[in-house]
Amino acid sequence: MKKRYQGFNVLIIIVLFILAALLLVIPELPGLSVWPYAVELTGALSEGGENIVPNDQYLASGINDSYSRLRSWGIAPGKNGELPRADPGAPELISKYNSIYLADTTKKIIYLTFDEGYENGYTSKILDVLYENQVNAIFFITGPYLEKQEALVQRMLDEGHAVGNHTINHKSLPMLGEAEL
């Protein structure tokens, strides 16, 4: 019986060793590590204000050369008291899709937004606090979130909050072409 347990323990150790080795190797396999989270693809304005993200600086994957230049997305911080601005190329899309980037700056308004893709179960409490303080917010939800949390989304609407589309699968906007946007 003791030998059986020793054999089982050895088997467990071997399996754990193999899993640990795979964790080290898998990120290096082609196609599985295209965009590590450590690489920021948005808000990547060059000092010259060009409408690109340079391949050598922001393209994490060496396996797909077709993305050598990406549209830059995000916010360019203002300097010396200037207002932040949309990255180059974004104003045309903002206009085309009737979006708002910068509202009336003469009014002191805070737009409170929540990304419901990664909410970790806190939304009900957030809604409670907003309700108690008579504050409205904008909740951006994904398709799967709507399917799983329909009652919570209805509560958002019932309490006067805006609900915006955060897509079905949260694609990386710099990777999308004009037709996909």
Of residues 140 and 69, more confidently modeled: 140
Instruction: Tell me if 60 sits within 8 A of 36, measured CB to CB.
Output: yes
In a domain, 116, yes or no: yes
Question: What's the chain's length in residues?
Answer: 181
Domain ranges, residue 9: 1-33
Mean pLDDT (the chain) is 71
Domain count, the chain: 2
pLDDT at 35 over 60: no
- Judged against a pLDDT cut of 90, whether residue 59 lies above it is answered with no
**Residue 91 in this model has a pLDDT that exceeds 50:** yes
Reply yes or no on whether the pLDDT at 60 is more than 80: no
What is the domain-level CATH number for residue 161? 3.20.20.370
Confidence class for position 158, pLDDT limits 50, 70, 90: very high
pTM: 0.51
Of 34-43, 73-82, 144-153, 168-177, give the range with the top mean pLDDT. 144-153
Position 77 in a domain: no
67 pLDDT more than 90: no
Taken in order 25, 28, 32, 33, the sign of the CA dihedral is: positive
Residue 149 falls inside a structural domain: yes
Model confidence at 98: pLDDT above 80: no
Contacts of residue 63, Cβ cutoff 8 Å, sequence gap at least 6: 30, 31, 34
Structure confidence at residue 79 (pLDDT)? 82
**Is 8 within the bounds of a domain?**
yes
Whole-angstrom distance, CA of residue 101 vs CA of residue 163 = 17
How far is the C-alpha of 101 from the C-alpha of 90, rounded, in Å? Answer: 9
Across 23-42, average pLDDT: 46
83 falls within a domain: no
What value does the mean pLDDT take over residues 1-29? 67
End-to-end CA distance of the chain: 64
In-domain check, residue 68 = no
Question: For residue 21, what pLDDT is reported?
Answer: 65
